[in-house]
Structure 1
Amino acid sequence: MNASAENGAMPRYCTQPPQTQPVLRPDLNPNRSRAILLVRAKWINGTVLHYAFLDQGGDIGGSEQLDEVRHAFQAWKALGLGLEFQEVADPGDSEIRIVFQENEGSASYVGRDNLGISTTQPTMTFGWDLTTPYGKATALHETGHAIGFAHEHQNPFAGIVWNEERVYADLGAPPNNWPHEVTFNNILRKLSQNEVTGSTWDPDSIMEYSFGPGLIVRPEQYRGGIPASLSLSATDKERVLQWYPPLHAQPPRLQAFQSTPLQLATGQQADFEIVPTETRSYQIGTFGNSDVVLALFEDTDSGLQYVAADDDSGQDRNGRLEAKLVKDHRYVARARLYSAWGSGSIAVMYW
């Protein structure tokens, strides 16, 4: 996203940190690799994302800046997402940590990449006033990164041909002052087709930059630029609900030692309730030829609390969790599928 500049000056842009690339075996089946690249940044649906403010508006402003971030999270949640967003006071309890620093610009890590950042460090920064129309859109844009979405103008299906010399020159000048590698990573680099949902480009997306004239050569209709997107587009809403659909109020219950089939397509998720009949150490696992993210949560008075997770993607094994479960306590196991191969028959069980 960008900050609108007055008098036609160059806007300031979001500088997304480079996304983590999984290290996959070179002999891995290409279908498995594509599925892992597509799903890797997305959270397990139903995750409670905790966010904390590391300052109270920094050098941008006061509490009204924090309110705009809160409103942005609420705008995504209001679509009916299975994700939850909870503000916490202690940064050590958060996955997302937010600062306001004008000299740092605006940026956010993408999806699960937030988990690789020290709890003493910010994962999202804002570098301009969020109370303007552009600022409110910036808050939506950066929180969109946090839940797993990349820049839309880097969509390989956009078919954008850039005037690269002009792009480097304009972004290298004030107010952005970007070196070549930042401009390449945030504008010119195209995502792999394996990393994007769907097969079309959405120029109205909140994840799309606005651009002035002269930067785009093709498609011809955008030679005059792309206007700023100030709200979630219809496609934004459709795509985010594909990844984070509303949760079932009561997931089916797993019975100990009983295998339950998983009928899932790439990116889909199944949730199960576990209520053990005795207190002891249990294992929870998947079976079959599959790449799966498996996570376990305990239902407490303060909501679902994370217990353990395993990601077996790209490995020739199945996901396994081991945890002490307490008699008559309620737990929720969640399995999101990257891909299945071979017979395609997969299942989950606890014992």
Structure 2
Amino acid sequence: MAAQGEKDALRYCAQPPRRIPALAPDLSLPRTRAILLNGAKWMNGTQVRYSFLDGADDGVSKAWLTEVHNGFEEWEGVGIGLTFRAEDNPAEAEIRIAFADDGSWSYVGTDCLHIGAGQATMNFGWDPTSPYGKATVRHEIGHSIGFCHEHQNPFAGIVWDEAALYAYMGGPPNNWPRETTFQNIVRKLSTDEVTGSTWDPTSIMEYGFGPGLIIRPEEYRNGIDSPLQLSDTDKKLVREWYPPLTPHMDTLQPFQSAPLDLGSGQQTDYEVVPEKSQKFQFGTFGDADALMVLFEEDGENLRYLAGEDDSGQNRNGHFEVKLLQGRRYVLRVRMYSTWGSGNASVMYW
């Protein structure tokens, strides 16, 4: 995402390196693809909390803070199953936002959960209220919910004038080292990390580039304009990743397995209401890579209690947690892939 300025002085989002899970070398390609494609996405239905490490008391303009709030509201307003809530205490938030003079960037999706509680997971290094700044806000929030840079799409067919590109990005105002340029522009994403098979140059996740940096496609030799709003494809994809949730859910009874008839990336919820207070075991069964998360109902919100991700491992997920009589819990299961007989199920006991 380009910062405001002339075409010859654009500043760009420098996305931190992705956290790639360690996968067993003998995994089949369908399993590997399913895990890489869905691994950084939030469990649909999650309330993602964001907090500011710097605020008005630290000299940050209220207009800047408001524009970030507006960005989260716009993404949620597309009609998705995620909700965003401002949190006063940064230690309680999944996304922690700074305004340091350190460029603009964000970790991708659930990679945020592996960053220390006192550290930023997103930063805005320039005015977020300018036209470019507003777009930067939407771009960085796009990273935080699972989007990567669109110009790194392997289906874009971009051939760079690498000498010109490295020289341009190595100069002011970016002053990027060669590795940063490679990781954020030159490196192509694996096809396993990309949804669909086309490139969207109008995506909010696309950079704007001036002339003389792109060799092919020829129509972009004179540059690519910086997209300033969410594209139709951005909205379509995010609704596919996080479809609106249906209010009904089945009740999971103890010692009774429930089948997981889910495709890759799909998920389901089960209500859990224990009849007595004790420790319970939760587990998946069958040939499946799945993510299980248990939430406790807390007013209108769901509070995370425990979870297990068994993707890429030759075992089933399992965790133990104490539940309290009369409390209401929600078990959410997302499927990465199934193989063998494909008969997967979940149970608690």
TM over 0.5: yes
3-state SS of 2:263 partner: coil
Tell me which residue corresponds to 1:90.
89
3-state SS of 2:55 partner: coil
Q: 200-209 vs 30-39, which deviates more?
A: 30-39
Instruction: Structure 2 unaligned segments of length 5 or more: list them.
Output: none
1:128 aligned partner, one-letter code: W
Distance 2:96 2:123 in 1: 8
Tell me which residue corresponds to 1:15.
14
CA contact (8 A) 2:8 2:210 kept: no
CA contact (8 A) 2:18 2:111 kept: yes
1:183 aligned partner, one-letter code: T
CA contact (8 A) 2:51 2:87 kept: yes
- CA shift digits 1:105-152 (9 cap, x unpaired): 100000111011101111100011111111111000000101111101
3-state SS of 1:9 partner: helix
Counterpart selection for 2:290 from 289, 292, 298 = 292
1:225 aligned partner, one-letter code: G
Deviation at 1:321, TM superposition (A): 2.1
1:132 aligned partner, one-letter code: S
CA contact (8 A) 2:290 2:311 kept: yes
Q: Does 1:218 align with 2:216?
A: yes
3-state SS of 1:273 partner: strand
Counterpart selection for 1:281 from 275, 279, 287 = 279
Deviation at 1:165, TM superposition (A): 0.7
Deviation at 1:11, TM superposition (A): 0.3
- CA shift digits 1:323-346 (9 cap, x unpaired): 111222111111111111111111
* C-alpha spacing 1:139/1:267, structure 2 compared with 1 (3 Å): same
3-state SS of 2:236 partner: helix
* C-alpha spacing 1:58/1:225, structure 2 compared with 1 (3 Å): farther
- CA shift digits 1:206-240 (9 cap, x unpaired): 11111111111111111111111111111101111
3-state SS of 1:321 partner: strand
* CA RMSD across the alignment: 1.4
CA contact (8 A) 2:287 2:342 kept: yes
Tell me which residue corresponds to 1:3.
3
Counterpart selection for 2:156 from 155, 158, 176 = 158
Distance 2:15 2:58 in 1: 21
Distance 2:322 2:166 in 1: 55
* C-alpha spacing 1:24/1:225, structure 2 compared with 1 (3 Å): same
2:321 aligned partner, one-letter code: A
Deviation at 1:193, TM superposition (A): 0.1
Tell me which residue corresponds to 1:70.
69
Deviation at 1:65, TM superposition (A): 0.5
2:344 aligned partner, one-letter code: I
3-state SS of 2:289 partner: strand
Q: 21-30 vs 72-81, which deviates more?
A: 21-30
Distance 2:128 2:345 in 1: 46
3-state SS of 1:112 partner: helix
Tell me which residue corresponds to 2:333.
335
Q: Does 1:116 align with 2:114?
A: yes
3-state SS of 2:9 partner: coil
Under a length normalisation based on structure 1, what TM-score does the superposition of the two structures give?
0.97
Q: Does 1:314 align with 2:312?
A: yes
1:4 aligned partner, one-letter code: Q
Tell me which residue corresponds to 1:105.
103
CA contact (8 A) 2:51 2:89 kept: yes
Identity %: 57
Tell me which residue corresponds to 1:249.
247
Distance 1:104 1:268 in 2: 37
CA contact (8 A) 2:54 2:60 kept: no
Deviation at 1:259, TM superposition (A): 1.3
Under a length normalisation based on structure 2, what TM-score does the superposition of the two structures give?
0.97
3-state SS of 2:155 partner: helix
Distance 2:172 2:58 in 1: 20
3-state SS of 1:158 partner: coil
Matches within 5 A, 1:229-268: 229-268=227-266
CA contact (8 A) 1:60 1:100 kept: no
Instruction: Structure 1 unaligned segments of length 5 or more: list them.
Output: none
1:111 aligned partner, one-letter code: G
3-state SS of 1:3 partner: coil
CA contact (8 A) 2:203 2:227 kept: yes
Runs of 4+ in 1 over 2 A off after TM superposition: 57-61
CA contact (8 A) 2:4 2:130 kept: no
2:39 aligned partner, one-letter code: R
Distance 2:56 2:299 in 1: 32
Distance 2:300 2:268 in 1: 23
* C-alpha spacing 1:187/1:58, structure 2 compared with 1 (3 Å): farther
Matches within 5 A, 1:185-204: 185-204=183-202
* C-alpha spacing 1:225/1:164, structure 2 compared with 1 (3 Å): same
Residues paired across the two proteins, number: 349
Tell me which residue corresponds to 1:41.
40
Deviation at 1:255, TM superposition (A): 1.6
Deviation at 1:250, TM superposition (A): 2.5
Deviation at 1:29, TM superposition (A): 1.8
3-state SS of 1:12 partner: coil
Tell me which residue corresponds to 2:175.
177
3-state SS of 2:313 partner: coil
